[in-house]
């Protein structure tokens, strides 16, 4: 079946607003905590706690999305959780409250990410999911860029705290967009990756775990996020220490520029994945990461930093479209598409935890430039692993 126009537009705007409400929890949080006189080690610890919680929550989150019949209801509860988390950060910037808010946000995100991919796959099916994921990425990038501009303006003209009140308010249009996706248009079997064949183990889990491509892709994603997780928060903290007045505005530009790139090239990435295959297009995104880390360590000029962030757009477009697409290939017929997302999401959590902790330590002990170059080494290792070991997953 083809989805209705209402459901297609609902998914467009849902991905747009989900990106809006997620924007404030990265570098803007680092800026906010820095203005509250938090040390870099404490900020790194908060991000590491969130990353470890993400590691523990991703697999259960994917399993929950596989288990529930209505992916939209799961997504709605996750959006409410993100809104509550933003309010808690804005009203109580003390360590215990920030930890609680971060854990709530991570738990909600562990369900929200797989739910969006499941809704997408359930709407259009495996054969059409590549271009649709590209369209999702375009709307998400547009939402992220616009939200960054709005939040940057609030941070500059009002306060860094106001960013999180805006985030909480954006949960309302997010839920309204989700309500436009009709339940009857989302095939629950198709949304889980299809029906597991006989003898595949517990609902295809055994078959999924025996596929080498899943393990290799998970390792590549882990190394990628070891390199990527701390880059923008490190930029935000470094700029704040030099000029707190301009920090929110510069971080906003550092988010807006790559999101413009993502919005421009994501549909093309989805098309290339259908013709070139998944692996060649992934290599482009992985290759841009170590170059970006080296350039950020080399320059302190605000204009150069914003220009370098264009490379982040290339990486984000590549991974945002191709990782879920490759997982749809790998999990096809197992009924465990969302669980496979949870497994790879756990690798993201491990990588981000290692990244923020290590980068925070290196920045405090050896300087920011050393931290950037250390992250570049991890990014180059991820690229080499993908180049030499990862198989092509396109059927």
Q: Is 248 helix (H, G, I), strand (E, B) or coil?
A: helix
Residue labelled with tokens 């990862």: 390
**Which residues lie closer than 8 Å to 2 by C-beta, 6 or more apart?**
124
Residue 134 domain-assigned? yes
Residue 394 domain-assigned? no
pLDDT for position 35: 75
- Choose among 150, 174, 144: nearest CA to 163: 150
pTM attached to this predicted model: 0.75
Three-class SS of the chain: CCCCHHHHHHHHHHHHHHHHHHHHHCHHHHHHHHHCCCCHHHHHHHHHHHHHHHHHHHHHHHHHHHHCCCHHHHHHHHHHHHHHHHHHHHHCCCHHHHHHHHHHHHHHHHHHHHHHHHHHHHHHCHHHHHHHHHHHHHHHHHHHHHHHHHHHHHHHHCCCCHHHHHHHHCHHHHHHHHCCCCHHHCCHHHHCCCCCCCCCCHHHHHHHHCCHHHHHHHHHHHHHHHHHCCHHHHHHHHHHHHCHHHHHHHHHHHHHHHHHHHHHHHHHHHHHHHHCCHHHHHHHHHHHHHHHHHHHHHCCCHHHHHHHCHHHHHHHHHHHHHHHHHHHHHCCCCCCHHHHHHHHHHHHHHHHHHHHHHHHHHHHHHCHHHHHHHHHHHHHHHHHHHHHCCCCCCC
pLDDT for position 48: 76
- Choose among 125, 51, 139: nearest CA to 337: 125
What spatial distance separates the first Cα and last Cα of the chain, rounded to whole Å? 21
- For the domain that residue 359 is a member of, what is the CATH number? 1.20.1250.20
Counts of helices then strands in the chain (DSSP H, E): 18, 0
326 in Cβ contact with 45 (< 8 Å): no
Residue 53 domain-assigned? yes
- Choose among 117, 140, 136, 113: nearest CA to 259: 140
CA distance 43 to 25: 12
pLDDT for position 245: 57
Residue 395 domain-assigned? no
**Which domain does 149 fall in, by range?**
5-388
Residue 224 domain-assigned? yes
pLDDT for position 146: 84
42 in Cβ contact with 29 (< 8 Å): no
The structural domain count of the chain equals: 1
Report CA-CA distances (Å) from 319 to 151, 172, 278: 25, 28, 10
- The total of other beta-carbon atoms located within 10 Å of residue 184's CB is 9
- Choose among 37, 52, 149, 153: nearest CA to 95: 37
Residue 141 domain-assigned? yes
pLDDT for position 197: 44
Residue 393 domain-assigned? no
Q: Show the tokens assigned to 262.
A: 């993502």
- Choose among 171, 68, 148: nearest CA to 111: 68
Residue 298 domain-assigned? yes
pLDDT for position 199: 43
106 in Cβ contact with 85 (< 8 Å): no
- Choose among 56, 102, 108: nearest CA to 350: 56
pLDDT for position 78: 93
Per-residue pLDDT of the chain (395 residues; tens, 9 = 90+): 566 778 888 899 999 999 888 877 777 787 778 777 777 777 778 777 877 787 788 888 888 888 887 888 899 999 999 999 989 888 887 888 888 888 999 889 889 888 998 898 888 887 778 888 888 888 888 887 788 778 778 877 887 788 888 888 899 999 999 998 888 888 877 777 766 544 444 556 777 777 888 899 999 999 999 998 888 777 777 666 665 556 666 777 777 788 788 888 888 888 888 888 888 889 999 999 999 888 887 877 777 777 888 888 899 889 988 998 898 888 887 778 888 888 888 888 788 778 877 877 777 777 777 888 888 898 999 999 999 998 888 77
140 in Cβ contact with 87 (< 8 Å): no
């Amino acid at each position: 079946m083809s989805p209705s126009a209402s459901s297609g537009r609902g998914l467009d705007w849902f991905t747009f607003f989900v990106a809006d409400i997620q924007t404030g929890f990265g570098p803007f949080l680092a800026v906010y905590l820095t203005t509250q006189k938090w040390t870099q080690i404490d900020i790194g610890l908060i991000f590491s706690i969130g990353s470890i919680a993400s590691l523990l929550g991703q697999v259960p989150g994917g399993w929950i999305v596989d288990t529930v019949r209505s992916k939209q209801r799961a997504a709605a509860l996750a959006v409410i959780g993100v809104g509550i988390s933003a309010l808690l950060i804005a009203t109580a910037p003390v360590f215990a409250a920030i930890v609680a808010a971060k854990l709530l946000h991570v738990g909600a995100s562990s369900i929200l990410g797989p739910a969006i991919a499941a809704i997408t796959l359930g709407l259009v099916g495996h054969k059409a999911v590549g271009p649709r994921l590209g369209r999702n990425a375009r709307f998400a990038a547009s939402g992220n860029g616009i939200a960054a501009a709005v939040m940057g303006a609030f941070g500059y003209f009002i306060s860094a705290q106001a960013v999180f009140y805006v985030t909480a308010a954006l949960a309302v249009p997010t839920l309204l967009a989700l309500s436009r996706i009709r339940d009857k248009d989302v095939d629950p079997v198709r949304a889980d990756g299809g029906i597991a064949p006989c003898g595949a183990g517990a609902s295809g889990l055994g078959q999924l775990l025996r596929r080498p491509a899943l393990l290799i892709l998970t390792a590549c994603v882990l190394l990628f996020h070891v390199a990527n997780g701390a880059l923008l928060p490190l930029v935000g903290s470094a700029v704040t220490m030099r000029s707190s007045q301009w920090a929110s505005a510069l971080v906003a530009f550092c988010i807006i520029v790559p999101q413009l790139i993502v919005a421009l090239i994501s549909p093309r990435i989805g098309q290339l994945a259908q013709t070139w295959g998944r692996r060649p297009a992934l290599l482009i995104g992985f290759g841009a990461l170590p170059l970006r880390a080296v350039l950020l360590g080399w320059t302190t000029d605000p204009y150069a930093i914003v220009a370098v962030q264009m490379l982040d757009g290339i990486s984000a477009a590549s991974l945002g479209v191709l990782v879920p697409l490759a997982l749809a290939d790998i999990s096809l017929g197992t009924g465990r598409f969302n669980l496979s997302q949870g497994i790879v999401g756990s690798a993201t959590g491990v990588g981000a935890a290692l990244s923020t902790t290590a980068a925070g330590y290196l920045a405090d002990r050896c300087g920011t430039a050393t931290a950037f170059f250390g992250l570049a080494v991890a990014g180059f290792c991820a690229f080499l692993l993908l180049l030499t070991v990862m198989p092509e997953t396109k059927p």
